Each structure stands twice: as C-alpha cells, then as structure tokens.
Structure 1
C-alpha cells in the first residue's frame, strides 16, 4: 500500500516512506525499478523527466527495500499489483500516464500495458528476458532449466558481481559500498534468491506471450555491452513487439542504463519519445510546464548563490 507523502519541497518532490514522487504536469511517468533494486536506481531519470515538465512516480515493488525474508514472501503477482495500484491511482487523479521499467521492470511494463492499453507510451530499459550478458557464468545461462528443479530453486543465490551493471567506475565503487553496507533501501540486495529469479523468468515468459498483441508505442533502450542481459533481449522485443517501437542502442553503458554514463541521453531520449506521443495541444501544455520548471530552478539557484556569498 502506498504511504502518504511526508514532505513536499518547493521543487515538487514528495518522499513517501520508500517511494519517490515528483509533482509536475498532468502528464505522468510511472517508473518501475528492477527486481531486488530500489526506486533510487530510477531517480536520476525521474529528475530529468521532471525538468521536462512530467510528473514522475517511482513506487516500491512489494517486498523490496526490506529484509530478504520480506522479498521471499512475495511473487510476480504481488509486484504487478504494486504497479497496477499506482497506475490506477494516477489515472483516478486525472493524469495521462506513461510507463517505463528497468530490467524485469520492463517486462512488467509490457504486462501492465497489455491490461491497460490506454497507457500513452512505454520505455523499456535493459529489458531482461534471459540472463545472458557477458559477465554471466555458463551456469547463469542454464538457469531457466535449473530453476525448474525445486531443490535447486530453493537454495540457489545469484550473487551480484563485478561490474555490477555499471561501467562508470567511481559510481560503481559507491554502489558497491552501499550494497556491502546491508542497507537494502539504498542499493538493493547483494544476491537474488533462486525462487525470485524463477518468478522473474516467468514474467519474461508472460511478456513474450503478449508482445504480439502490443499496441502502446514503445522506446527500447539497451546497452551494446550489457553485462547481465545481452542486446539480443532488446532485438527480440524490437522484432516481436507488435506496437510501434524505436530501438536505442547505447555504446558506453552496462546494464543499469538509468544511472550509468549515458543516463542523461537516456532521459532526453525518453522525454522526446513521450513528447511525440502527445497531440499538439498536449505538447504545448507540457512545454509550458517545463518552462515554468526551468524558471523555478533559476530562481532557486539565484537564491542559493546569494546565501553562499
């Protein structure tokens, strides 16, 4: 259940107990973090989209940002319910909604759009149908088969390892420190239980089934050097997703494209794609909100400069 905001700043940022909400125009972007991840892996993207005038919501998936036992008490139905609840809340408040997801969050975006085809546009970041990136061991490639064995599934742990989905070395060092701190709300968990991976692959299977009837326009963003999910994942979606779609391949990032070296390019491409999904009057409305946002930032920066003198 979504908690009530506990702080509303002058910049439109609302912090719930664990989720993040940036208040902007009536055009909202619902962002879905990855499995065992946190809303913070989407917030750099969210902040830039907010500058373009969008309202942005990043809810916490059920069982996340908590103990590993809390995570293990959930499954794909619970995760999908988390984002469906937030989508319906946004719609009920009059927002026109776009949806973007990272990794397994991207497969959830496909499933949400299949149920709610009135979603205005989609963005798939590093969509993961198979764990077949260059850093994944041969055992990882065999996971779809091995995870069907209950004994293996219940005891296996997929441990995070170098390069942790990040090409930017200073950023990677900071993320690793947070992972090792044990604070799951800061950077997620250091390993993914087999039963959770099994649910993730089940989500991917469900997404494949509905792709041929997809209708919502989609932007597919993937790194050529993705260390966890090879670019073949994106190429598969580009070929089989029936709705209008564009493919953006990144040359200087790994799996976590929303925080890695090309994060601003990812955000800018997303904003342009979503903007193009609007009609002329809506585009003018969004541009007015973005202009208002920029003016507010200039005033805030000027006030800060004065205080620092």
Structure 2
C-alpha cells in the first residue's frame, strides 16, 4: 500500500466535493476501473436534496492498467477511509453509497467504522452472471480464483461488452463511439488481477457482513446485464442490520447513470433522511421491493 494513498495529480484532478446545507454528507464511491466522474449525476441529485457529497478517486485508479494492478482492495478501502474521515471532520452524519465494488467498499468501511450512519449499495456483484455475460464465466471464475493472482494471468484483460451496463440508448451509443472513454480516468478494459481483487473484497463482505448493523439500502436492476439480482439477494442475507432491497425496472447495471438515475438519487436521499422537496418530479420511474 506504500505511496498509493499519497494524493496524485489524477486524484486531485478527478475527485470532487460539494458542500450541502443539512449537516449531512454522502461519500460516493465509484466502481472498479471507474472514476469519480461517473458519480456526478447522483452527486448533483443528492446535493439538491441538501447533502454534502464527496467522490474520491480510489487508489490505483484514474491512469492505466499498470497502476490499477499495483493496488488491491485494501488500498481501495484505504482511499474510502481517508475520504470518510475528511467528511466526518465537519459533518454531523456521514453516509456511504457506491456502485458495484464501490458499494462493497462502503459496506467494508461500515463494518469497521460504527460512525458510518448508513449505506447504499448499487448493483452488488459477487459474480458476473447477468444476461449479457458469457455463461461459462460465472462458473469458471470461482475456480480460477487461486490462480488469478499470478503475474502473467493478472495482466490478461477483458473489454466490457456492449451495451456497457446502460439501457439508455443515447448514453450507450456515446460509449460505443468513444470506445468507453466517456468518463475521464475510467478504463475500458478490466484486468483479471482487478477482478481477483473484486472477488477477494466480496469474500471479505461475506465475513464481516454481520458487523454492518447500520441501515443498508440495496438497489439493483431486474434486467442487470452484468450481475443477476440474486447478487443483491445474497448480500441482503449477509448484513447484520436492517436492509431495504429494491429492484428497478427500467435500467441495466449502471443504475446511477442510466434511465432511472434520478429515482436512484431520490430513493437514496429519502433513505438517508433528507427532508422531502415539494414538487420533486418522479414521473416515469418506478421501483418495487
């Protein structure tokens, strides 16, 4: 971990923070190979509801595959831990919310830090077993875990397949046109070594889940193209505190940027105790338990 948490030029350029009016803050954690920019839609929605928000760049992210492979899930958690401490210094309550690996990191932080007021997890992924994933991958990946950390195998990488976790046609065509380079600092390939760290983090959540006694919101798309809703159901059974699990009906894996992103923001704000806003539009979106 040495040196990985030292602020880099990428971290300074890509991380962001907005000051709110409630005295409450939300730490927003991007996904594996992602970057803080993917959290901006959610950040703006939460900020409009009064929350301060901070979206740090996770250690090893924001530059290239080599830097990512030099980090592990504990380094990523260290980034979340530092950002949480900074928010805690000037806010009465601090919550965590994250997509996929970011959500798991938020839970890992909540397990070790009782001061985390609550957590929201979007599109939890134990396995890539959604409808757009090759069937053999879900079965083979757990068997490959003992070998995925080997130097040669770690560098093997996979391109994220179309539709890139997006049901919104405009967004996914933009991703296709730019070969995934829409979010500054995000990578368009996933190294096997990083996948290995994702699985190690998921195993950690299974071990410490009972220590997460804070309220947890789990949001997942019914038609998630990357991770089946059974991933969310499994997570709900692991956690030690009250769980609110909801399935969304008009988006894919990237629920925080897809067609129901405003709904995701509003459900999260409500769950974290934001006062209701008169006339807040929610037409055209729905969710159910």
TM-score by length of 2: 0.87
2: distance between equivalents of 1:2 and 1:46?
24
- Check conservation: 1:20, 1:59, Cα contact below 8 A: yes
How far apart are 1:176 and its partner, in Å? Answer: 2.9
How far apart are 1:123 and its partner, in Å? Answer: 0.3
Taking a change above 3 Å as real, the CA distance of residues 152 and 16 of structure 1, as seen in their structure-2 partners, is closer
Higher helix share: 1
- Residue in structure 1 matching 2:64, options 63, 67, 81: 67
Other-structure match for 1:207: 205
Other-structure match for 1:92: 89
Other-structure match for 1:154: 154
- Check conservation: 1:24, 1:55, Cα contact below 8 A: yes
Larger Rg: 1
How far apart are 1:190 and its partner, in Å? Answer: 1.5
How far apart are 1:126 and its partner, in Å? Answer: 0.4
Other-structure match for 2:283: none
Residues matched between the structures, number: 270
Other-structure match for 1:11: none
1: distance between equivalents of 2:152 and 2:127?
18
- Check conservation: 2:221, 2:250, Cα contact below 8 A: yes
Taking a change above 3 Å as real, the CA distance of residues 74 and 255 of structure 1, as seen in their structure-2 partners, is same
- Check conservation: 1:178, 1:186, Cα contact below 8 A: no
Cα RMSD (Å): 2.4
Other-structure match for 2:17: 21
1: distance between equivalents of 2:236 and 2:49?
26
In the TM superposition, what are the counterparts of 1:69-148 in structure 2 within 5 Å? 69-141=66-138, 142-148=140-146
Question: Where in structure 2 are there 5+ consecutive unaligned residues?
Answer: 281-289
- Check conservation: 1:146, 1:153, Cα contact below 8 A: no
**SS of equivalent to 1:31:** strand
Other-structure match for 2:186: 188
TM-score by length of 1: 0.81
Other-structure match for 2:287: none
2: distance between equivalents of 1:21 and 1:2?
18
Residue 222 (1) aligns with residue 220 (2): yes
Taking a change above 3 Å as real, the CA distance of residues 164 and 19 of structure 1, as seen in their structure-2 partners, is same
